[in-house]
Structure 1
């Protein structure tokens, strides 16, 4: 996994061949970035399926409860098929926009 950190968020890109392998590695290292705003970038990953993204449902919910953002960047996924608890966007720019909207909602007390 390739990790890039800046002041606003941590971007993580998988280097594994499967989302399930990435998920295992991600969970083993989760304590390193559990309190950070996370962008999981699957934009270069081919054949990511909706079922693969469901692996991250609990983490997404936990992040929101802890006041941090969790966004998955993934192209070719019908957003209407994804539960509201998981933020999925097709581009990096939209993912950053989600982070900004989450910050505004937290500031307003939502």
Structure 2
């Protein structure tokens, strides 16, 4: 697992290739990241199902309740199949753009 911080945002990338252990590590270390916006980088995984992505739902709900952004990045995925409560995008650039827009919305009181 590789963690990069850029301003108020932390990007967490799986370096092992084991989705289940990555999810467990992120969940167990969540308290370390909870005060930042989070990007979960799953670009190295090409065979993720909608159910795999849904496993991040509890973390996403908890994080958004704390008024922080939680974005998952994965490519080759059916983005329409993901529940509206999860933010899933195809690139890191788009993830940073989403976080920037959500920060502006929070600053404006939306």
TM bucket (normalised to shorter chain) is over 0.9
How many residue pairs get matched? 110
In the alignment, what sits opposite 2:17?
17
In the alignment, what sits opposite 2:84?
84
Deviation at 1:90, TM superposition (A): 0.2
Q: TM-score, normalization: structure 2?
A: 0.93
In the alignment, what sits opposite 2:62?
62
Matched residue SS, 2:26: helix
CA RMSD, 1 decimal: 1.1
Structure-2 separation of matches of 1:102 and 1:7: 15
- What whole-Å deviation, never above 9, does each CA across 1:39-88 have from its counterpart, x for those lacking one? 01111222122111111101111111101000000011111111111100
Runs of at least 5 residues in structure 2 that lack an aligned partner in the other structure: none
In the alignment, what sits opposite 1:37?
37
Structure-1 separation of matches of 2:92 and 2:6: 14
In the alignment, what sits opposite 1:7?
7
Q: TM-score, normalization: structure 1?
A: 0.93
